[in-house]
Structure 1
Amino acid sequence: MDIKVAFIPLARTTFFMPSAEENFTKSCDMLEGLFGNVNKPTELITSPEMLGEFADTLSQQDLIIYQCSTFIGGDFVTELTNRFNCPIIVWAVREPSIDGGRLKLNSLTGAFSAGNSLRMQGRQHEFVFGNPDEIEVIEKLRTIGAAVEMVKKLNNLVIGVVGSQPAGFGFGVIDEAQLASTFGIKVAQVEAANLMSNATSYNDEEIATALEELKSRTKGWDLMPKENLEKYARLRTAYQGFIKESGAGAIASRCWPDFFTGFGAPVCAVLSMLNDNGIPSSCETDMGGAISMFIGSNLSGSATYFGDPVAVDEKCDSIVYWHCGAGASSLANKNEGSKLGVHPNRKIGPTMEFGLKNGPVTVLRLGKDKDGFRMFLMKGEALDEPQKFWGTSVTVKPEGGQATESVAAFVEDGWEPHFVIAYGNVVEEVKTMCNMLGINVWEY
């Protein structure tokens, strides 16, 4: 993980030091295997002076792991909060034995002291309980680390916004000041007309790479009119130029009607290729959708899908998510592959035409509420179902079923009509990230 981690193991020598020393050694080995380079002391820290001396060697950290190797007072954690402004994990280890004899470590009470001190200081923290060789402990630490890394990536994100939202799609607008204050996200704006103008300026050599990329990832391109393929390649090249110039790591793009009426080609396939290439890209200029895609793709390690909930398929108790044709080609059902087609309403190509692959998924959405941001989360299963409508679609069964009741809850709770499907289970990572950012989670 690309984060700076400091391990702070604290102990009092009046407790049973052999067990504390054993946990310290095992913890160091486990943490280095999990995070790579970890800033750690050479021995257990047993006094405020030792803590101060070690803290002096540290730059600002992304995460502090505060292990109560034995009981330790809450004053120790205050020394760290006075120096560092980053998430803190309070870690309590287990008692070596519960046998009617001596209380050897009393680590858990130390964790309570630290947690109370952090709470009273208004500092967010996470709690881990267990020994360093326990799978649950390792997984919890991995989850927290992934969330910290995600927060860091959001803080460095530039979202490229192409044009404005279509009429009636104002839910996709997010105030730049809100983005900056909550996430640190910056916005780079460009008009769709500017990209179309740039697209007309390229020669055949300059668009050749974009054209070859499309052909290598899709089927049916040979049935597409040459003029349409060329227009696609011009737009793809123009978008790549904007990304390079702005440093954008995600795109929220205008699509209809501008690119149909102003350029004679959809932008769907362009967004598909960007999603495949690690630039999460939403259509209809949905900024919250693009940020949700960025979160989902970074946590899952693959492209995500951006779609409308358009139907309930009662036969399989599932929700059908659909969009015109911008799905990442890498998400196509393996039996059919990614095919090119034309837009279902405008009859212009190239767009993507396929049903998505099956597998466990997380449905998520960064939404807006009356008092700030909120996060939608739902576990589900993308079923091995055929394409349900022209364009791209995926059929998702909620983890607990009851698709009709779920959709009713989503509408009654006022969610935006765009959702993101990330393959895999990233629920805990998103929840931890939201806790760090002060965002309310609505889990279904």
Structure 2
Amino acid sequence: MKFEIAYIPVGLPTFHLESAQIEFDKSIELIKSLTDACVFPDEILLSIDKLDSFLKTIAPKLVIVQNTTFAHAAYITEVLKKFDCPVLLWTLREPVIDGGRLRLNSLTGAYSAGNALLNFRDGNFEYIFGSPQEEEVKNKINATIRVAKVKYELTKTKIAAIGHTPQGFGFGRALDVEIAKQFGANLESIESRELIDRAKAYTLEECEEHLDSFSAACCNHEGIDKKNMEDFTRLLKAYKDYVKENNIHVIASRCWPDFFVSYGTPVCSVLSMLNDLGVAASCESDTFGAISMYVASKFTGVASFFGDPVSLDEGENTITYWHCGMAPCSLSNGDKATIGIHPNRKIGPVMDFGCKPSDKATVFRIGKDQYGEFRFFICSGKILDKPKQFQGTSIVFQPDGKSKEIISKSVKDGWEPHFAVAYGDIAQELEILADMLNMEVVKY
């Protein structure tokens, strides 16, 4: 089924229909400027019968219910009975206040609808007040549409857990039924040795194109052992072939010790390349970290960083996120991504650079609280123009709040040690998505 949004304007014929028509026309114009996935009725739905007739023609993944004039709770109830999808309730501003007739009375209708939504959906809906020409209204509707599309795309997403989480990293482990229930996505699991065995079976000639693409994206190849470079290209082909054959969108891959010990070459750069190819890929088998990266990249349109918070500078008000050799080449602050050797295992190739700056950034993670309930970590700020902080890949994030307070509170709150850093301000979208998924939002 395709992604479809439905604009559902409701009202009663006893109000000022000339004013209502103006708002109806402006509302359609606004929504059409934001998406081509919306369906509209030919007129304001001024009776339950007309509403029902329209509802029979649609199959939405998001409904925008507007009290174009006052409409009692029976209208929204009909919508909720038929569709189990996200709802954006839109209240119109009263167009004229002149001591004369109340033209729309949209706000009273919103209270009736909100009360029904509380009882029908436990209050799980989005809300906006204002006229179609207001910027806040445009931004909220646009954000809600974008989120509903990502939520829908999650239901078509296939996630692969490659290998088990290492000892002490169980926070990233997921169950297939859990992923299906919470996100609507599919999770499959395979052993890392399956891809290692596949990589070992390739000839170097079969992998030549992958070496060429890596060489074009990165520099410092001369510092890497030739056999490691060849084995890397075999591993890159193995992962790319697996992704293509199985229609994988998200990967949570085991890295140490298997790829160092059993294969002799790290997987870090393979995962880095996959992120630039549009496959969200995390290391240390962190499935929820990988989903966080996927969601972030869907909202920003670019690959996101994945790393640990490793350093705090109170004077500069920054937090440094780092990982030992994994980051998309596109995030490098140089003309090309620099590669090097792993800081602990002393073999390569791994990524070895500082990340480029951004005036807007969001640190994000889908995690769990002590009761196993899902929650969203959201922190807004910017990425500074800084060189590599430690061997590996690093990104220096300056939050809007105080860095030391954020670190202290998030450690006390028990957050997992992996975070996605998104290149863009996506806090509003993340909050809406958390609401749609019935998950807690924790803002820092």
Find the counterpart in structure 2 of residue 182 from structure 1: 182
Find the counterpart in structure 1 of residue 337 from structure 2: 338
Structure 1 residue 54 and structure 2 residue 54: aligned? yes
1:220-235 → structure 2 map (5 Å cutoff): 220-235=220-235
| Residue 357 (structure 1) shift | 0.8
Find the counterpart in structure 1 of residue 404 from structure 2: 404
| Residue 55 (structure 1) shift | 1.4
Distance in 2 (CA, whole Å) between partners of 1:319 and 1:44 is: 52
Q: Deviations over 1:229-281 (max 9, x none)?
A: 11111000111122123221111001011111111111010011001111011
Residue 299 of structure 1 aligns with an amino acid whose one-letter code is F
Find the counterpart in structure 2 of residue 161 from structure 1: 161
Q: Secondary structure at the match of 2:395?
A: strand
Find the counterpart in structure 2 of residue 377 from structure 1: 378
Structure 1 residue 353 and structure 2 residue 352: aligned? yes
Q: Deviations over 1:104-151 (max 9, x none)?
A: 110111111111111111252211111111111111001111111121
Find the counterpart in structure 1 of residue 193 from structure 2: 193
**Larger displacement relative to structure 2 (79-88 or 218-227):** 218-227
1:218-297 → structure 2 map (5 Å cutoff): 218-297=218-297
Q: Secondary structure at the match of 2:121?
A: coil
Indicate if the aligned counterparts of 1:188 and 1:246 stay in contact, CA closer than 8 A. Answer: no
Distance in 2 (CA, whole Å) between partners of 1:337 and 1:393 is: 15
Find the counterpart in structure 2 of residue 72 from structure 1: 71
In the superposition, relative to structure 1, how do residues 399 and 342 fare at CA in structure 2: closer, same or farther (>3 Å)? same
Q: Secondary structure at the match of 1:121?
A: helix
In the superposition, relative to structure 1, how do residues 9 and 52 fare at CA in structure 2: closer, same or farther (>3 Å)? same
Find the counterpart in structure 1 of residue 390 from structure 2: 389
Q: Secondary structure at the match of 2:82?
A: coil
Residue 281 of structure 1 aligns with an amino acid whose one-letter code is A
Q: Secondary structure at the match of 1:211?
A: helix
Find the counterpart in structure 1 of residue 329 from structure 2: 329
Structure 1 residue 42 and structure 2 residue 42: aligned? yes
Residue 396 of structure 1 aligns with an amino acid whose one-letter code is F
| Residue 315 (structure 1) shift | 4.1
Q: Secondary structure at the match of 1:281?
A: strand
Residue 107 of structure 1 aligns with an amino acid whose one-letter code is S
Find the counterpart in structure 1 of residue 138 from structure 2: 138
Indicate if the aligned counterparts of 1:308 and 1:322 stay in contact, CA closer than 8 A. Answer: yes
Indicate if the aligned counterparts of 1:154 and 1:184 stay in contact, CA closer than 8 A. Answer: yes
Distance in 1 (CA, whole Å) between partners of 2:403 and 2:44 is: 53
Q: Secondary structure at the match of 1:164?
A: coil
Distance in 2 (CA, whole Å) between partners of 1:220 and 1:203 is: 24
Indicate if the aligned counterparts of 2:176 and 2:188 stay in contact, CA closer than 8 A. Answer: no
Distance in 2 (CA, whole Å) between partners of 1:397 and 1:29 is: 39
**Larger displacement relative to structure 2 (233-242 or 148-157):** 148-157
Distance in 2 (CA, whole Å) between partners of 1:265 and 1:308 is: 22
Distance in 2 (CA, whole Å) between partners of 1:171 and 1:117 is: 38
Distance in 2 (CA, whole Å) between partners of 1:175 and 1:187 is: 8
Distance in 2 (CA, whole Å) between partners of 1:187 and 1:51 is: 39
Residue 163 of structure 2 aligns with an amino acid whose one-letter code is G
Indicate if the aligned counterparts of 1:188 and 1:248 stay in contact, CA closer than 8 A. Answer: no
Distance in 2 (CA, whole Å) between partners of 1:217 and 1:151 is: 32
Distance in 2 (CA, whole Å) between partners of 1:6 and 1:315 is: 50
Gaps of 5+ in 2: none
Residue 183 of structure 2 aligns with an amino acid whose one-letter code is F
**Larger displacement relative to structure 2 (110-119 or 265-274):** 110-119
The alignment of Structure 1 onto Structure 2 pairs a total of residues equal to 440
Q: Secondary structure at the match of 1:320?
A: strand
| Residue 190 (structure 1) shift | 1.4
Q: Secondary structure at the match of 1:410?
A: helix
| Residue 432 (structure 1) shift | 0.4
Q: Deviations over 1:327-379 (max 9, x none)?
A: 10100114x63101110111111111110011121001111123311111101
Distance in 1 (CA, whole Å) between partners of 2:104 and 2:91 is: 10
Q: Quick one: percent identity of the two aligned structures?
A: 42
Distance in 1 (CA, whole Å) between partners of 2:310 and 2:367 is: 19
Give the structure-1-normalised TM-score: 0.96
Find the counterpart in structure 2 of residue 5 from structure 1: 5
Distance in 2 (CA, whole Å) between partners of 1:321 and 1:241 is: 31
| Residue 176 (structure 1) shift | 2.3
1:280-319 → structure 2 map (5 Å cutoff): 280-319=280-319
Give the structure-2-normalised TM-score: 0.96
Distance in 2 (CA, whole Å) between partners of 1:202 and 1:38 is: 48
Indicate if the aligned counterparts of 1:351 and 1:391 stay in contact, CA closer than 8 A. Answer: yes
Residue 173 of structure 2 aligns with an amino acid whose one-letter code is V
Residue 62 of structure 2 aligns with an amino acid whose one-letter code is L
| Residue 405 (structure 1) shift | 2.2
Indicate if the aligned counterparts of 2:3 and 2:37 stay in contact, CA closer than 8 A. Answer: no
| Residue 223 (structure 1) shift | 3.5
